[in-house]
Chains A and B, each alone.
Chain A
Amino acid sequence: ETGVTQTPRHLVMGMTNKKSLKCEQHLGHNAMYWYKQSAKKPLELMFVYNFKEQTENNSVPSRFSPECPNSSHLFLHLHTLQPEDSALYLCASSQRSGVYNEQFFGPGTRLTVL
């Protein structure tokens, strides 16, 4: 595997379910990100992890719970979601240092909440 991978690619869940999204990067990066992409809205940064430490939580509801066990893996645990949480969830990674380094994105998980 190369780059940034995300599983599952598609997920349908009820409002009472608990599920998790997984992201893995094979690039040796130190920073990982979760974004939410909704129809007709700009990409929204949700969480940032830098060397496994959460450095940003962009006022995300507690029904989204991130976990970063190491620099290569990032999870987003979901519980009691709402239909408006349906979106494409994108994971990205970057090197730690410098403002010029690009973020590499995974293909996303398309989430539908019924």
Chain B
Amino acid sequence: GDSVTQMEGPVTLSEEAFLTINCTYTATGYPSLFWYVQYPGEGLQLLLKATKADDKGSNKGFEATYRKETTSFHLEKGSVQVSDSAVYFCALSEGSGGYNKLIFGAGTRLAVHP
């Protein structure tokens, strides 16, 4: 079945460092791809999404490009802040019956130090 694989964390960076969190997927169809973020004590929030190959999702300085040839959707940010410390989840969407079923990766914890 469909699956998502993320790099294991935790990822520890200094403020203003460059961030990459790798995500690859396996899917039989053409899924939509998402990055969700979970701040401490909160639920998941959608960070960005891409719905077809070569689309780039972006939000709050984060970017990810849907690469069909490498089945990847890596998350990047040029300069991280302490407030970016959170757990990041890559996910793909299988659509059926009028709703989208999300398949999540295991999550990558990011810790940013001043």
A residues with CB within 8 A of B: 4, 6, 30-31, 40-43, 45, 48, 50, 55-56, 90, 92, 94, 96-108
Mark the stretch among B39-47, B64-72, B77-85 that contacts chain A: B39-47
Cβ-defined contact, B94 with A106, below 8 A: no
Cβ-defined contact, A105 with B43, below 8 A: yes
Chain B interface mostly helix, strand, loop or mixed?
strand
Chain A interface mostly helix, strand, loop or mixed?
loop
Instruction: Say whether B113 faces chain A, with CB atoms less than 8 Å apart.
Output: no
Cβ-defined contact, A96 with B99, below 8 A: yes
Q: How far is the CB of B42 from chain A (nearest CB, A)?
A: 5
Cβ-defined contact, B45 with A99, below 8 A: no
Known: A42-B107, A90-B43. A100 touches B51 (CB 8 A): yes
Cβ-defined contact, B97 with A55, below 8 A: yes
A14 to B98: give the CA distance in the assembly, Å. Answer: 38
Counted as pairs of residues, one from A and one from B, with CB atoms less than 8 Å apart, the total is 69
Interface centre among A43, A50, A104, by most chain B C-beta atoms within 10 angstroms, is A43
Cβ-defined contact, B99 with A106, below 8 A: no
Cβ-defined contact, A98 with B100, below 8 A: yes
Cβ-defined contact, A99 with B100, below 8 A: yes
Q: How far is the CB of A68 from chain B (nearest CB, A)?
A: 13
Cβ-defined contact, B104 with A97, below 8 A: no
A102, closest chain B residue (CB): B46
Cβ-defined contact, B43 with A31, below 8 A: no
Q: How far is the CB of A5 from chain B (nearest CB, A)?
A: 10
Known: A42-B107, A90-B44, A106-B43. A100 touches B101 (CB 8 A): no
Instruction: Say whether B25 faces chain A, with CB atoms less than 8 Å apart.
Output: no
A42-B105, A43-B89, A99-B95 known, 13 other contacts, Cβ within 8 Å:
A6-B43, A41-B106, A42-B4, A42-B104, A42-B107, A43-B107, A45-B102, A55-B97, A97-B98, A98-B95, A99-B31, A99-B93, A103-B102
Other-chain residue from A98, A101, A105 in contact with B45 (beta carbon distance below 8 A): A105
Q: How far is the CB of A91 from chain B (nearest CB, A)?
A: 8
